[in-house]
Structure 1
Amino acid sequence: MMVTAFSPRPEPYEVARVTSTAAELLEVLWGRATTAPVSASQLRVLLVLEHERGINLRTLADLLASTPPSTSRLCDRLQAAGFVERAESPADRREVRLHLSSRGRAFLVDLRARRERTLQAVLEQMPAAKRAALREGLEAFCDAVDAQIRDDVRPSGSGSRTA
Protein backbone atom coordinates (compact mmCIF):
# COMPACT_ATOMS: atom_id res chain seq x y z
CA MET A 1 0.00 0.00 0.00
CA MET A 2 1.39 3.37 -1.01
CA VAL A 3 0.96 6.32 1.36
CA THR A 4 0.81 9.81 -0.14
CA ALA A 5 4.11 11.74 -0.24
CA PHE A 6 4.28 14.94 1.79
CA SER A 7 5.56 18.37 1.06
CA PRO A 8 8.46 19.38 3.37
CA ARG A 9 5.95 21.18 5.66
CA PRO A 10 2.82 19.04 5.43
CA GLU A 11 -0.56 20.51 6.17
CA PRO A 12 -2.59 18.99 9.03
CA TYR A 13 -5.08 17.47 6.55
CA GLU A 14 -2.23 15.61 4.79
CA VAL A 15 -0.91 14.21 8.06
CA ALA A 16 -4.46 13.35 9.17
CA ARG A 17 -4.99 11.31 6.01
CA VAL A 18 -1.78 9.33 6.50
CA THR A 19 -2.44 8.91 10.24
CA SER A 20 -5.92 7.60 9.46
CA THR A 21 -4.45 5.11 7.01
CA ALA A 22 -1.86 4.03 9.61
CA ALA A 23 -4.61 3.55 12.22
CA GLU A 24 -6.61 1.41 9.80
CA LEU A 25 -3.54 -0.69 9.01
CA LEU A 26 -2.90 -1.15 12.73
CA GLU A 27 -6.49 -2.33 13.15
CA VAL A 28 -5.91 -4.94 10.44
CA LEU A 29 -2.57 -5.99 11.95
CA TRP A 30 -3.95 -6.18 15.50
CA GLY A 31 -7.13 -7.84 14.27
CA ARG A 32 -5.03 -10.93 13.66
CA ALA A 33 -4.47 -11.24 17.43
CA THR A 34 -7.51 -11.72 19.60
CA THR A 35 -8.55 -9.41 22.42
CA ALA A 36 -10.67 -12.21 23.92
CA PRO A 37 -12.19 -12.42 26.43
CA VAL A 38 -13.08 -8.73 26.02
CA SER A 39 -14.87 -6.98 23.17
CA ALA A 40 -13.57 -3.82 21.48
CA SER A 41 -15.97 -1.70 23.60
CA GLN A 42 -14.84 -3.40 26.78
CA LEU A 43 -11.21 -2.87 25.81
CA ARG A 44 -11.90 0.87 25.48
CA VAL A 45 -13.29 0.84 29.04
CA LEU A 46 -10.18 -0.91 30.36
CA LEU A 47 -7.91 1.58 28.62
CA VAL A 48 -9.81 4.55 30.05
CA LEU A 49 -9.81 3.05 33.56
CA GLU A 50 -6.07 2.52 33.33
CA HIS A 51 -5.53 6.25 32.76
CA GLU A 52 -8.41 7.63 34.81
CA ARG A 53 -8.16 5.72 38.08
CA GLY A 54 -11.23 5.97 40.28
CA ILE A 55 -13.39 7.54 37.57
CA ASN A 56 -17.13 7.58 38.15
CA LEU A 57 -19.63 6.00 35.79
CA ARG A 58 -21.02 9.26 34.38
CA THR A 59 -17.58 10.60 33.50
CA LEU A 60 -16.64 7.26 31.96
CA ALA A 61 -19.82 7.34 29.85
CA ASP A 62 -18.92 10.88 28.71
CA LEU A 63 -15.42 9.79 27.72
CA LEU A 64 -16.86 6.87 25.75
CA ALA A 65 -19.58 9.04 24.17
CA SER A 66 -22.08 6.55 25.55
CA THR A 67 -24.98 6.52 27.98
CA PRO A 68 -24.59 5.66 31.67
CA PRO A 69 -26.84 2.56 31.38
CA SER A 70 -24.81 1.15 28.45
CA THR A 71 -21.56 1.95 30.20
CA SER A 72 -22.84 0.36 33.40
CA ARG A 73 -23.65 -2.86 31.52
CA LEU A 74 -20.15 -2.91 30.01
CA CYS A 75 -18.68 -2.47 33.49
CA ASP A 76 -20.98 -5.17 34.92
CA ARG A 77 -19.61 -7.67 32.41
CA LEU A 78 -16.02 -6.57 33.05
CA GLN A 79 -16.54 -6.84 36.80
CA ALA A 80 -18.04 -10.34 36.40
CA ALA A 81 -14.94 -11.34 34.40
CA GLY A 82 -12.69 -9.95 37.15
CA PHE A 83 -11.23 -7.07 35.14
CA VAL A 84 -12.92 -4.16 36.96
CA GLU A 85 -13.59 -3.34 40.60
CA ARG A 86 -16.15 -0.90 41.96
CA ALA A 87 -15.72 1.04 45.19
CA GLU A 88 -17.74 3.66 47.05
CA SER A 89 -16.40 7.16 46.75
CA PRO A 90 -14.90 8.37 50.03
CA ALA A 91 -16.58 11.74 49.45
CA ASP A 92 -20.07 10.43 48.58
CA ARG A 93 -21.20 6.88 49.34
CA ARG A 94 -23.84 7.09 46.58
CA GLU A 95 -21.12 7.51 43.97
CA VAL A 96 -19.29 4.46 42.66
CA ARG A 97 -15.67 4.70 41.55
CA LEU A 98 -14.28 2.30 38.96
CA HIS A 99 -10.80 0.76 39.01
CA LEU A 100 -8.90 -1.81 36.99
CA SER A 101 -8.35 -5.01 38.94
CA SER A 102 -4.99 -6.74 38.98
CA ARG A 103 -6.42 -9.18 36.42
CA GLY A 104 -7.44 -6.23 34.19
CA ARG A 105 -3.93 -4.76 34.44
CA ALA A 106 -2.36 -8.13 33.63
CA PHE A 107 -4.64 -8.48 30.60
CA LEU A 108 -3.55 -5.07 29.25
CA VAL A 109 0.13 -5.89 29.84
CA ASP A 110 -0.25 -9.15 27.90
CA LEU A 111 -2.26 -7.52 25.09
CA ARG A 112 0.31 -4.76 24.70
CA ALA A 113 3.16 -7.26 24.63
CA ARG A 114 1.46 -9.19 21.83
CA ARG A 115 0.73 -6.00 19.89
CA GLU A 116 4.27 -4.72 20.35
CA ARG A 117 5.73 -7.96 18.98
CA THR A 118 3.55 -7.56 15.90
CA LEU A 119 4.63 -3.94 15.49
CA GLN A 120 8.28 -4.74 16.07
CA ALA A 121 8.25 -7.07 13.08
CA VAL A 122 6.99 -4.20 10.90
CA LEU A 123 9.31 -1.56 12.38
CA GLU A 124 12.37 -3.77 11.83
CA GLN A 125 11.77 -3.26 8.11
CA MET A 126 12.16 0.53 8.44
CA PRO A 127 15.46 2.43 8.39
CA ALA A 128 16.61 3.50 11.89
CA ALA A 129 16.33 7.23 11.11
CA LYS A 130 12.71 6.81 9.99
CA ARG A 131 11.92 4.84 13.16
CA ALA A 132 13.41 7.65 15.28
CA ALA A 133 11.37 10.27 13.43
CA LEU A 134 8.22 8.15 13.81
CA ARG A 135 8.79 7.80 17.55
CA GLU A 136 9.32 11.53 18.00
CA GLY A 137 6.22 12.36 15.99
CA LEU A 138 4.07 9.78 17.76
CA GLU A 139 5.16 11.02 21.20
CA ALA A 140 4.02 14.54 20.26
CA PHE A 141 0.82 13.12 18.76
CA CYS A 142 0.03 11.17 21.95
CA ASP A 143 0.56 14.30 24.06
CA ALA A 144 -1.79 16.29 21.81
CA VAL A 145 -4.47 13.57 21.86
CA ASP A 146 -4.26 13.30 25.65
CA ALA A 147 -4.71 17.07 25.99
CA GLN A 148 -7.63 17.03 23.54
CA ILE A 149 -9.40 14.22 25.40
CA ARG A 150 -8.97 15.97 28.74
CA ASP A 151 -10.26 19.26 27.30
CA ASP A 152 -13.29 17.52 25.75
CA VAL A 153 -14.52 16.13 29.08
CA ARG A 154 -13.80 19.22 31.18
CA PRO A 155 -16.90 21.41 31.61
CA SER A 156 -16.47 25.08 30.64
CA GLY A 157 -15.05 27.20 33.37
CA SER A 158 -14.00 24.22 35.50
CA GLY A 159 -10.66 22.61 36.12
CA SER A 160 -11.99 19.07 36.52
CA ARG A 161 -15.06 16.93 36.15
CA THR A 162 -16.82 15.87 39.34
CA ALA A 163 -20.18 14.56 38.10
Structure 2
Amino acid sequence: MTKPQKSIDSYISYALAAAHRKLHVELSDKLKTLNVQVETWRVLQSLRVSKGITMRELAESVLMNPPTLTKLVDRMVADGLVQRQLSPHDQRRVHLALTDLGVKLSDEILLHVEEQNDRIIETIGSEKAKLLREALQTLT
Protein backbone atom coordinates (compact mmCIF):
# COMPACT_ATOMS: atom_id res chain seq x y z
CA MET A 1 0.00 0.00 0.00
CA THR A 2 1.40 3.39 -0.96
CA LYS A 3 1.44 6.30 1.43
CA PRO A 4 -0.88 9.19 0.64
CA GLN A 5 1.06 11.95 -1.07
CA LYS A 6 1.53 15.27 0.72
CA SER A 7 1.44 18.60 -1.03
CA ILE A 8 4.82 20.22 -1.60
CA ASP A 9 4.12 23.04 0.84
CA SER A 10 3.83 20.55 3.71
CA TYR A 11 7.60 19.96 3.65
CA ILE A 12 9.94 22.04 5.79
CA SER A 13 12.55 22.17 3.04
CA TYR A 14 9.99 23.70 0.68
CA ALA A 15 8.90 26.28 3.26
CA LEU A 16 12.55 27.26 3.78
CA ALA A 17 13.15 27.54 0.04
CA ALA A 18 9.98 29.59 -0.49
CA ALA A 19 10.85 31.96 2.37
CA HIS A 20 14.42 32.30 1.12
CA ARG A 21 13.26 33.06 -2.39
CA LYS A 22 10.77 35.71 -1.22
CA LEU A 23 13.27 37.44 1.07
CA HIS A 24 16.12 37.20 -1.45
CA VAL A 25 14.03 38.72 -4.27
CA GLU A 26 12.78 41.47 -1.94
CA LEU A 27 16.30 42.40 -0.81
CA SER A 28 17.66 42.07 -4.33
CA ASP A 29 15.08 44.58 -5.59
CA LYS A 30 16.07 47.05 -2.86
CA LEU A 31 19.79 46.67 -3.55
CA LYS A 32 19.32 47.19 -7.29
CA THR A 33 18.89 50.88 -6.49
CA LEU A 34 22.53 50.80 -5.35
CA ASN A 35 23.62 48.61 -8.31
CA VAL A 36 24.55 45.86 -5.85
CA GLN A 37 23.75 42.14 -5.70
CA VAL A 38 22.79 40.36 -2.47
CA GLU A 39 26.01 38.36 -2.78
CA THR A 40 28.00 41.61 -2.85
CA TRP A 41 26.41 42.60 0.46
CA ARG A 42 27.37 39.23 1.96
CA VAL A 43 30.99 39.75 0.91
CA LEU A 44 31.10 43.34 2.19
CA GLN A 45 29.53 42.42 5.53
CA SER A 46 31.79 39.40 6.00
CA LEU A 47 34.89 41.46 5.29
CA ARG A 48 33.66 44.23 7.55
CA VAL A 49 33.44 42.03 10.63
CA SER A 50 36.56 39.96 10.05
CA LYS A 51 40.18 40.96 9.77
CA GLY A 52 42.38 39.29 7.20
CA ILE A 53 40.02 36.68 5.79
CA THR A 54 41.14 34.41 2.95
CA MET A 55 39.12 33.58 -0.15
CA ARG A 56 38.44 30.06 1.10
CA GLU A 57 37.14 31.35 4.43
CA LEU A 58 35.09 33.98 2.63
CA ALA A 59 33.53 31.42 0.29
CA GLU A 60 32.31 29.43 3.29
CA SER A 61 31.02 32.56 5.00
CA VAL A 62 29.09 33.95 2.02
CA LEU A 63 27.73 30.60 0.80
CA MET A 64 29.33 30.78 -2.65
CA ASN A 65 31.46 28.37 -4.62
CA PRO A 66 35.07 29.60 -4.96
CA PRO A 67 35.16 30.21 -8.76
CA THR A 68 32.00 32.36 -8.64
CA LEU A 69 33.29 34.21 -5.59
CA THR A 70 36.62 34.89 -7.31
CA LYS A 71 34.81 36.55 -10.23
CA LEU A 72 32.72 38.66 -7.84
CA VAL A 73 35.75 39.71 -5.80
CA ASP A 74 37.66 40.57 -9.00
CA ARG A 75 34.80 42.95 -9.94
CA MET A 76 34.75 44.39 -6.42
CA VAL A 77 38.52 45.01 -6.57
CA ALA A 78 38.10 46.70 -9.97
CA ASP A 79 35.30 48.85 -8.51
CA GLY A 80 37.54 49.89 -5.61
CA LEU A 81 35.45 48.21 -2.91
CA VAL A 82 37.92 45.51 -1.85
CA GLN A 83 41.68 45.17 -1.85
CA ARG A 84 43.89 42.13 -1.75
CA GLN A 85 46.76 42.12 0.74
CA LEU A 86 49.60 39.65 1.26
CA SER A 87 49.47 38.04 4.66
CA PRO A 88 52.16 39.47 6.94
CA HIS A 89 52.71 35.96 8.35
CA ASP A 90 52.69 33.93 5.14
CA GLN A 91 53.49 35.58 1.80
CA ARG A 92 51.70 32.74 -0.03
CA ARG A 93 48.34 33.73 1.47
CA VAL A 94 46.23 36.63 0.27
CA HIS A 95 43.80 38.35 2.59
CA LEU A 96 40.92 40.57 1.59
CA ALA A 97 39.98 43.89 3.17
CA LEU A 98 37.42 46.60 2.52
CA THR A 99 38.49 49.94 1.14
CA ASP A 100 36.94 53.17 2.43
CA LEU A 101 34.56 53.06 -0.54
CA GLY A 102 33.62 49.49 0.41
CA VAL A 103 32.84 50.60 3.97
CA LYS A 104 30.69 53.47 2.67
CA LEU A 105 28.72 51.18 0.37
CA SER A 106 28.36 48.65 3.17
CA ASP A 107 26.79 51.37 5.34
CA GLU A 108 24.26 52.19 2.60
CA ILE A 109 23.38 48.54 2.08
CA LEU A 110 23.04 47.91 5.80
CA LEU A 111 20.10 50.33 5.97
CA HIS A 112 18.12 48.08 3.60
CA VAL A 113 19.23 44.85 5.28
CA GLU A 114 18.37 46.12 8.76
CA GLU A 115 14.99 47.33 7.51
CA GLN A 116 14.20 43.87 6.15
CA ASN A 117 15.46 42.18 9.32
CA ASP A 118 13.34 44.48 11.51
CA ARG A 119 10.27 43.79 9.36
CA ILE A 120 10.78 40.02 9.71
CA ILE A 121 11.08 40.31 13.49
CA GLU A 122 8.01 42.56 13.61
CA THR A 123 6.05 40.04 11.54
CA ILE A 124 6.89 36.89 13.51
CA GLY A 125 7.87 38.40 16.87
CA SER A 126 11.26 38.53 18.55
CA GLU A 127 10.87 35.21 20.40
CA LYS A 128 9.95 33.29 17.23
CA ALA A 129 12.74 35.07 15.35
CA LYS A 130 15.25 33.95 17.98
CA LEU A 131 13.94 30.36 17.85
CA LEU A 132 13.98 30.38 14.04
CA ARG A 133 17.58 31.62 13.94
CA GLU A 134 18.63 28.96 16.45
CA ALA A 135 16.78 26.22 14.55
CA LEU A 136 18.35 27.24 11.24
CA GLN A 137 21.81 27.41 12.80
CA THR A 138 21.27 23.90 14.14
CA LEU A 139 20.54 22.68 10.61
CA THR A 140 23.67 24.27 9.23
1:2-61 per-residue CA deviation (whole Å, 9 max, x = no partner) reads xx8xxxxxxxx65x6544433332233324323343334433322332344311123323
Q: Which amino acid aligns with 1:21?
A: A
Residues 60, 27 of structure 1: alpha-carbon distance in 2 compared, 3 angstrom cutoff:
closer
Helix, strand or coil at the partner of 1:99: strand
1:53-111 per-residue CA deviation (whole Å, 9 max, x = no partner) reads 311123323443413x4433321210111111211112101211111222222212212
Question: Equivalent residues in 2 for 1:62-101 (5 A)?
Answer: 62-63=60-61, 64-67=63-66, 69-101=67-99
Q: CA RMSD in A?
A: 3.5
Q: Which residue of 2 aligns with 1:43?
A: 41
- Normalization by structure 1: what TM-score? 0.57
Helix, strand or coil at the partner of 1:87: strand
Gaps of 5+ in 1: 5-12, 124-129, 150-163
Deviates more, 1:90-99 or 1:70-79: 70-79
Question: Equivalent residues in 2 for 1:1-163 (5 A)?
Answer: 14=12, 17-35=14-32, 36-63=34-61, 64-67=63-66, 69-117=67-115, 131=122, 134-142=125-133, 145=136
Helix, strand or coil at the partner of 2:85: strand
Structure having the higher helix fraction is 2
Q: Which amino acid aligns with 1:79?
A: V
Contact 2:77 2:83 in 1 (8 A): yes
Q: Which amino acid aligns with 1:137?
A: K
Q: State the Cα distance separating 1:135 from its structure 2 match.
A: 2.2
Gaps of 5+ in 2: 1-8
Distance in structure 2 (CA, Å) of the matches to 1:119 and 1:60? 22
Distance in structure 2 (CA, Å) of the matches to 1:114 and 1:62? 23
- Normalization by structure 2: what TM-score? 0.64
Percent of aligned positions that are identical? 26
Number of equivalenced pairs: 130
